[in-house]
Amino acid sequence: MKIKNNKVTWQENSAKNITFIVTKDCQLACKYCYLVGKNEKERMSFDVAKAAIDYILDRENEKNFDTESVIWDFIGGEPFLEIDLIDKVCDYIKQEMYSRNHHWFNSYRFSFSTNGINYDSEKVQKFIKKNKSHLSIAITIDGTKRKHDLNRIWKGDGSGPERGSYDDVVRNIPLWQSQFPGVGTKVTISSADIPYICESVLHLYDLGIHQVNINCVFEKVWKEGDDKLFEEQLMMLADTIIDRDLYIENSCSFFSEDLGKPLDCKLQNHNWCGAGKMLAIDAQGNFYPCTRFAQYSLRDKEAWIIGNIHDGIDNNKLRPFLTLDRCTQSTPECADCEVAEGCAWCQGENYDAAKTHTVFERATAICLMHKARVRANNYYWNKLYRKLELEGTREEFENQKPKSNDIIC
């Protein structure tokens, strides 16, 4: 029996993640999009990107930049709207890493999260062919048509009816899967999506997407009773995955064995999110600890700018991020929580929701949802193990235990 593993992403621990916010524009206006300040004007120029690259590559041996590998990430808005710029920037990165004999030349990746709408365009396809061996591309598709179209709608002027984008994306899935076989997709769940979770995950499996990374938004959007509905959906999903043997070929990040145990404040005290270890750059050439700290992602707080391409990084502004640990930012309830393992947070949302100017106040809007997930997850593993036991395949399964791969932001 071959069991599908939740793959650990490429060079996950040893790679520096550098994100270019190339545009704040997008063809869609997804209802859950956390980007409160999207607009059509702020597009990155090549000169800004070049200055950032020079700054970064000049610091090959500095602590911030001495990781084994690098992921050059391009996001938006919709990054492929700026494919000409991206192509030029990627060429420059390759040239510079090569001519400087930079150690990253042996270990780099260009990474994209796209809405998939212009995936098949000539320019995007040309870019893919040129860089294929160094590319990760994730297309976001939320599940069934009705679920996807509930949130992922075309931008309109408000006069006509809402138009969903499912058909415009799904037609590109076969091409994407043929070019990047086995690559997963990322699904984000908000309150209104809960009734569609089970059908959506199954639909994605049907489309040939075998790895579904799914998570609840961290914002305070949950209504009373959502946790119960959520639990029901996950139980339904668990039953279907197990009864139809779907766990053999597929994975869903909602079910993970590393979930729902208490955590120790000394031995298991690491921070969840990589803000501060990553670096994001916007069109003005400002640096951020992560894109979620740029003004267009923040509701209530000022942007957390840690420097810019002219003056460099002010390391003082990074110190809070690089000293963060789990228990310091947690309430006593979270520190002592019986099911804390796998309960995630987003540092940007923590900052945005905090009472004061700090990244040390953990937002817990997700609390009941996590507890519901833990219950369903326990059910899943108990049921699956019993089945495997009866089939005599448990040992084989345990030997190939899937690793967890919670992609949370």
Partner 1 sequence: MKKYYQYIVILLDDTSVSYCHADNPLKEKRLIPLEVLREAILFSMKENLMIQFVYPEYELPKEYNDLIETIDHIKIGKDVLVYDSVPTNVERKNVVLRLAIADFLAKQYDIALLLPKVTRLNISITDIENFKDELIEDYRTALEMLNSVLLNIYKGGNSPEINILTDRLRLNEMHNCDAGVENITLAPNGKFYLCPAFYYDEQMGVSTRMNHKTKDASRSVGDLEVGINIPNKQLLELERAPLCRICDAYHCNRCIWLNQKLTWDNNTPSRQQCVMAHIERNASRDLSNKLKDTGFVLENEIKEINYLDPFDVKEEF
User: Considering beta carbons, is residue 68 or 162 the nearer one to partner 1?
Assistant: 68
Residue 290 interacting entry, from ligand SF4, partner 1, none, C-beta within 5 to 8 Å by type: none
Q: In what order do the strands lie in the sheet with 211-216?
A: 185-189, 211-216, 251-252
Q: What's the CA dihedral at 10, 16, 22, 28 to 10 degrees?
A: 40
Give the 3-state secondary structure of residue 74.
Answer: strand
User: Considering beta carbons, is residue 51 or 305 the nearer one to partner 1?
Assistant: 305
Residue 281 β-bridge partners = 20, 287
Q: What is the contact mask toward ligand SF4 in residues 316 to 335, using x (rule: CB under 6 A)?
A: -----------------xx-
Q: From the list 39, 45, 328, 400, which residue makes contact with partner 1 (rule: CB under 8 A)?
A: 328
* Site membership for partner 1, residue 354 (CB under 8 A): yes
Token reading at 338 = 């019986």
* Site membership for ligand SF4, residue 256 (CB under 6 A): no
Pairwise CA distance, residues 24 & 11, whole Å:
28
- Residue 281 near residue 37, CB atoms below 8 Å: no
Q: According to CB under 6 A, which residues from 342 to 361 bind ligand SF4?
A: 343
Q: From the list 30, 194, 273, 359, which residue makes contact with partner 1 (rule: CB under 8 A)?
A: 359
User: Considering beta carbons, is residue 242 or 340 the nearer one to ligand SF4?
Assistant: 340
- Residue 240 near residue 198, CB atoms below 8 Å: yes
E-assigned strands of 91-218? Answer: 108-114, 135-139, 185-189, 211-216
Tally of CA atoms within 13 A in the half-sphere of 237 that contains its CB: 29
Segment contacting partner 1 by CB under 8 A, of 28-36, 53-61, 207-215, 312-320: 312-320
Residue 356 interacting entry, from partner 1, ligand SF4, none, C-beta within 5 to 8 Å by type: partner 1
* Site membership for ligand SF4, residue 265 (CB under 6 A): no
- Site residues, partner 1 (CB under 8 A): 300-302, 304, 315-317, 319-320, 322-325, 328, 354-361
Residues forming the site for ligand SF4 (CB under 6 A): 333-334, 337, 339-340, 343, 364, 367, 370-371
